[in-house]
Amino acid sequence: MIQINVGEILKKKGKSKSWLCDQMDISLYNLNKAIRSGKKSISYKYLERICKNIELFI
């Protein structure tokens, strides 16, 4: 299993979830739903867009 703590990475980069939502053109609700703790799956579309915008290469 791969775990990415998006909130922690954003904090280290001085960015917010709202900033990431703007970059991804999604709502904060959908972002939180995609990255919430305990979620068993995330779509590749969201995973790719999150990683690209926070400059995380896996």
Q: Tens digit of pLDDT for each residue in 2-49?
A: 677 888 999 999 999 999 999 999 999 988 888 876 667 778 888 888
Specify the pLDDT at position 11.
93
Q: Rg for the chain (alpha carbons), in Å?
A: 10
Q: Specify the pLDDT at position 39.
A: 66
Whole-number Å distance between alpha carbons of 22 and 6: 15
The pTM (predicted TM-score) of the whole model is: 0.77
Which pLDDT score is estimated for 23? Answer: 94
Domain ranges across the chain: 6-53
Domain covering 6-53 in this structure, CATH number: 1.10.260
How far, in Å, CA of 55 to CA of 50, rounded? 8
10 and 24 in contact (C-beta within 8 Å)? no
The pLDDT value recorded for residue 26 is 92
Count other Cβ atoms within 10 Å, centred on residue 20: 22
List the one residue out of 30, 28, 24, 27 whose CA is nearest residue 50.
24
